[in-house]
Amino acid sequence: MILLLGEPVALAGHECREVEIQLYGFDPSMAPAGKGVIKVELSSRYSYWKRLGADREGYTAAKQELANRVIDLLEQRYFTGLRQQVEVIDVATLLTWERYVGGTMGLGMYPNRKTSIAAGMLSNAMTTSLPGLKDFYFAGTWATNAGALFMNAHSGKRVMQDICRRDGKRFLSRPA
């Protein structure tokens, strides 16, 4: 869901005109019964977080301040009483992605992108192999450079479709 803001708001050193949120209250695998998850995605600059990352206390304080500002923004405009219901907050920055994914500037390293991530996921343009490596396929964050779980999961489905196509087999997808 994209929440359009009435006026731009500076968050994490970036002027935001909208906030992208994903609601997971429907998914029992994301939280216990009666609970839910709100995932907020913001645009930000790597340089902003990198500069803060040199000072661990400043970095941690900036993440907490960002979380508080986002909760205030959501509560004031869309989710009355949200702050009293928040039990856990996790702020993942571009430095978090860099640390856990091992990429550069918060992104995975995708050597063979022919088009944008979204366009590639929706077409056959996204390549999931590396030149010179037979029977090697990759999926997930390193294949998509995306933080969105559904896009990373979809990249795995695309790999399996490619393998089936190569082997002349019909691809079947069934819910678990």
Determine the average pLDDT of the residues in 144-148.
66
Counted domains in the chain: 2
28 and 55 in one domain?
A: yes
Q: Is the pLDDT of residue 94 over 70?
A: yes
How far apart CA 87 and CA 85 sit, in angstroms, is 6
Residue of 26, 11, 27, 30 whose CA lies nearest to 74:
11
Both 83 and 29 in a single domain? Answer: yes
pTM of the entire structure?
0.67
Beta-bridge mates of residue 2 = 20
Please state the rounded mean pLDDT for residues 126-150.
Answer: 75
Q: Return the amino acid letter for 86.
A: V
pLDDT in tens, 112-131: 444 444 444 444 455 677 78
Q: Which of 45, 76, 101 is the last residue in one of the domains?
A: 101
Q: How confident is the model at residue 54 (pLDDT cuts 50, 70, 90)?
A: confident
- Asked if 84 and 27 sit in the same domain, the reply is yes
Mean pLDDT in residue range 35-63 = 90
The answer to whether the beta carbons of residues 11 and 66 sit under 8 Å apart is: yes
Q: Looking at the structure, do residues 7 and 90 belong to the same domain, yes or no?
A: yes
- 88 with 27, same domain? yes
Of the given ranges (4-13, 55-64, 107-116, 145-154), which has the lowest mean pLDDT? 107-116
User: Radius of gyration of the chain from Cα atoms?
Assistant: 19
Any domain includes 161: yes
φ and ψ of 2, to 5 deg: -105, 120
